[in-house]
Amino acid sequence: MDRVALRGLKARGHHGVFPKEREEGQTFLVDLVLGVDTRRAAADDDLAKTVHYGIVAEEVVAVVEGEPVNLIETLAERIAQVCLKHEGVQEVEVCVHKPDAPITVPFDDVTVTITRSRV
């Protein structure tokens, strides 16, 4: 399986369990690794035979900017399902970063990473 990766997709969302997170929102970053067989696309030099990562990026940002959820685990699952709707995507790894999570000690990042497939 070949891999198409998108790193650092950035969007503002209102996800979290605390009222301040829901009201003010915060920046989320998303990394994706799409499992795609790119051989036909490469052989024919044809975008229609692979995944259009620009469209995937727009859809993922729309999920982050969309309906709020409590958990970034839920957000990651929703993103994975959007990616798997694309015919050529056989599997996806989604990493959601929440760098401004409400934690009382110094930290760099909080992430949740999931892998989903058609199987």
Give the residue numbers annotated as catalytic, written as ranges: 98
In contact, 50 and 4? CB cutoff 8 Å: yes
User: Quick check: helix, strand or coil at residue 15?
Assistant: coil
DSSP secondary structure letters along 32-97: EEEEE--HHHHHHT-GGGS--HHHHHHHHHHHHHSS--S-HHHHHHHHHHHHHTSTTEEEEEEEEE
